[in-house]
Structure 1
Amino acid sequence: MAFLLIAQPADRRPDESPHIIEARMRGLAAALMLDTSTAPLRDIGPRLTMHHESDAHLALDGCDYDLRVPIGGDWTRFVCDGGVVTVVVGLDPLPASSKRAVVAAYMSNGALTNRLLLGETHAARVSRSRGGQQPSYDELNRKHQELTELVNQHFALLQGRGRAQ
């Protein structure tokens, strides 16, 4: 099992209180259907889209955008091979780039004090192309334009404004 820990940064803007930040983190956890660390770990459905070795996107309910997650190495290979990921939202601050021991203590303390919200997910889609190479930006842009044109044509047909070609 792999873990994806999302914690609030230790530094915050002057207009943000700990209560406001915690409410936002709880909103994020709700958009992921996460539950407390005392509840059985629940499957939150396929929410990860793996784009390449250093980039995954995490789908959030009720949000037009995904959360981009920087990843890499063994974690990526594990998830791309179908591995399960436990998503963890921590309600307490954790400094960015914390050492492994600090993160371990954060996780232990959070579990004991019920300050972690969790759920299991896996990759919904893994983007792979011929020969393991990623498509170029131009190729992706061209494909996006083609799909947009097709969708617009079909929409026009449904609305009675176009004709089949």
Structure 2
Amino acid sequence: MSTNTQFAERSDKKAIELGSGLAPKFDSNGLIAAAVSDYDSGELLMVGYMNEESLLRTIESGEAWYWSRSRQEYWKKGGTSGQVQKVREIRTDCDQDAIWLRVSVEGNGATCHVGYRSCFYRKIEKNEDGSITLTFAEDAPVYDPAEVYGKTS
């Protein structure tokens, strides 16, 4: 994807924290964390990673693109499942080392590749005996991944 969009130079702290130029701070692997929430409810849906190109693709297309650390390739969220994340707003934090996407999810509204609406479908609980377990925060999956992807995760 060719682009005319340019990021601002990372300069002094005041410019990064209070200025109007987007100067993302990518980590040593060229990535930046992206938290993704539902635009209407504010529910946290997922956390992904972007590199410079996937952030630019997201800004230009209005649909969420990520860098897959495991597959080492770009992926458009919903490209296979139809659960495309339409970006309604993009924010960055004070030092510009994290991205927040506020999205509307097409299709069945789910985000997680194992069938749940949110990738954060379980909660961590400490039991009275000191053990730690995971319990489900969502009642059931929204869809069957085997039907969507042709295989289980």
**TM-score calculated relative to the size of structure 2:** 0.27
Which protein has the bigger helix share? Answer: 1
Which is bigger in relative contact order (C-alpha 8 A, separation at least 6)? Answer: 1
- TM-score, structure 1 normalization: 0.25
User: Higher strand proportion, which one?
Assistant: 2
Pair member with larger Rg: 1
